[in-house]
């Protein structure tokens, strides 16, 4: 895995969020909070000229929930 990832790397972001916040319900997080959580992840870097939008945040939220579901199935 590359050390740096961006807004369109939804699966990587979801994995990082699942690792960093295993007990949080992704659907309980407001998009403004989610945006800041992603920005705080180690290795995350915003690309100039590529702002995040609601659709990307929604996709991240869904992928994060999927990562948590997969982790529960593995246990």
The verdict on residue 58 lying in a domain is yes
Q: Is 5 helix (H, G, I), strand (E, B) or coil?
A: strand
Cα 70 from chain centre = 15
Distance in angstroms (rounded) separating the CA atoms of residues 42 and 54: 22
The verdict on residue 66 lying in a domain is yes
The per-residue pLDDT for range 4-43, each reduced to its tens digit, is 999 999 999 999 999 999 999 999 999 999 999 999 999 9
The verdict on residue 38 lying in a domain is yes
Q: Say if residue 37 is exposed, middle or buried (CB neighbours under 10 Å; 0-12, 13-18, 19+).
A: buried
Name the band, by pLDDT with cuts 50, 70 and 90, for residue 62.
very high
We report the CATH number of the domain holding residue 33 as 1.10.10.600
**What is the structure's pLDDT at 72?**
83
The verdict on residue 2 lying in a domain is no
Q: Is the dihedral of CA 69, 52, 45, 36 positive or negative?
A: negative
The verdict on residue 3 lying in a domain is no
Name the band, by pLDDT with cuts 50, 70 and 90, for residue 1.
low
User: Which pTM does this prediction carry?
Assistant: 0.90
The verdict on residue 59 lying in a domain is yes
């Amino acid at each position: 895995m590359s050390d740096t990832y961006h807004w369109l790397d939804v699966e990587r972001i979801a994995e990082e969020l699942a690792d960093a916040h295993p007990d949080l319900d992704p659907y309980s997080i407001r998009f403004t909070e989610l945006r800041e959580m992603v920005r705080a992840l180690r290795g995350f870097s915003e690309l100039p000229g590529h702002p995040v939008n609601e659709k990307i945040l929604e996709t991240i939220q869904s992928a994060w929930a999927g990562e948590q579901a997969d982790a529960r199935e593995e246990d």
